[in-house]
Structure 1
Amino acid sequence: MPSLLTLWNRASSLPQGRRAFSLAFSQKAPYFATVRPLFVELRPNYAELRIKKRRGVQNHIGTVHAIALCNGLEAAMGALAEVSIPSDKRWIPKGMDISYTAKADSDVRCIAETDASQWEGDDPDLPVRVKGVRKDGTVVVEGVIRLWVTAKPARADAAG
């Protein structure tokens, strides 16, 4: 099966390919579909997607709801992890520390970033920097999603 990065590279070069990729990605973890993410950029150590401000993600004051923002940040982080992690390792989220810094009163770009060096070594705790930015460039949410990164277990020999 092609890697997520290969699928992104193929899809993003086609008309409506980013939309198709985003829809397919949202089916992998259906709760991501609630925010209808549209991936804008995906490469090792960087993922960016957009959440459109619409009624389905708004709170009682008409801004993008805090949990919708967290879902967008987690989707970006998950895509980043899949295209960045070495093939001999696996990951799972273990925590999120988020600060809401301004009202999300427009579409929001959800960005996740790491440094290549973070994936090296044996420390299983890997912080992914995340932030949400509204159309005027104001950061509306920022923080860290912590991953637990460990070696993949050895595969049992099928012949044995």
Structure 2
Amino acid sequence: MTTPLLKIYKKMKWLPFGNWLFSKAVCRKAPYFGSIKPTITQLEPGVCMATIPKRKAVFNHIGTIHAIAQCNLAELCAGVMVDATVPYKTHRWIPKGMTVQYLKKAETDISAEAKITLPRQWLDKEDLIVPVEVFDAHGTKVFHADINMYVTKR
């Protein structure tokens, strides 16, 4: 069963600037994510990848990408992936918590990947831990998050 969000992504990704347009639509629905200017580059059940550019608006005092901007990117990837994966007719979800590790300075554009193993059985009142890896432009892992998504039956 394809979720509404995944249907929209599949239609838009083929358009010129489709990933950018889709990302703008997601940020319109959840405006806070717009502050990091993300581009969702891949979305399928169990996987979401996105990037953000290194720019002054997301810098910290030492000129690297701020820790909270990295948290926002991780939460965006996890949330979009879960929304595209959880069977929307029978279940719903909400973020419950996040544990993060700052591994290296993020000195370039960064990309994130949220990924879970499928297929899986969806339960009621389940804590789904979504791992998110964030890499710099050189492929070095700079950040890791485990995001707890609370999944319940409707």
TM-score interval for Structure 1 and Structure 2 normalised by the shorter chain: over 0.9
Secondary structure, aligned partner of 1:106 = coil
- With normalisation by structure 1, the TM-score equals 0.90
Please show how residues 8-157 of structure 1 align to structure 2 within 5 Å. Answer: 8-87=9-88, 88-122=90-124, 124-152=126-154
Secondary structure, aligned partner of 1:75 = helix
Report the Cα offset of residue 143 of structure 1: 2.3
**Partner AA of 1:93 in structure 2:** P
Secondary structure, aligned partner of 2:129 = strand
Aligned counterparts of 1:66 and 1:17: Cα–Cα separation in 2: 28
Report the Cα offset of residue 118 of structure 1: 4.6
Aligned counterparts of 1:66 and 1:39: Cα–Cα separation in 2: 19
**CA 1:67–1:119 in 2, change beyond 3 Å: closer, same or farther?**
farther
Report if the CA contact (8 A) 2:123-2:153 is conserved: no
1:84-135 deviation line (CA, Å, top 9, x unaligned): 0013010011110000000100000011111124553346111001111001
Q: What is the root-mean-square deviation in Å for CA atoms of aligned residues?
A: 1.3
Q: Which runs of 5+ in 1 are unaligned?
A: 153-160
Secondary structure, aligned partner of 1:116 = coil
Q: Which runs of 5+ in 2 are unaligned?
A: none
Aligned counterparts of 2:46 and 2:35: Cα–Cα separation in 1: 25
**Partner AA of 2:112 in structure 1:** C
**Partner AA of 1:12 in structure 2:** K
**CA 1:28–1:62 in 2, change beyond 3 Å: closer, same or farther?**
same
**Partner AA of 1:94 in structure 2:** K
Aligned counterparts of 1:139 and 1:123: Cα–Cα separation in 2: 32
Aligned counterparts of 1:121 and 1:149: Cα–Cα separation in 2: 7
Report if the CA contact (8 A) 1:85-1:119 is conserved: no
Q: Hey, which bits of structure 1, 4+ residues long, moved more than 3 A?
A: none
Equivalent residue pairs, number = 151
% identical equivalent positions = 38
| Larger of the two Rg values belongs to structure | 1
Aligned counterparts of 2:113 and 2:57: Cα–Cα separation in 1: 21
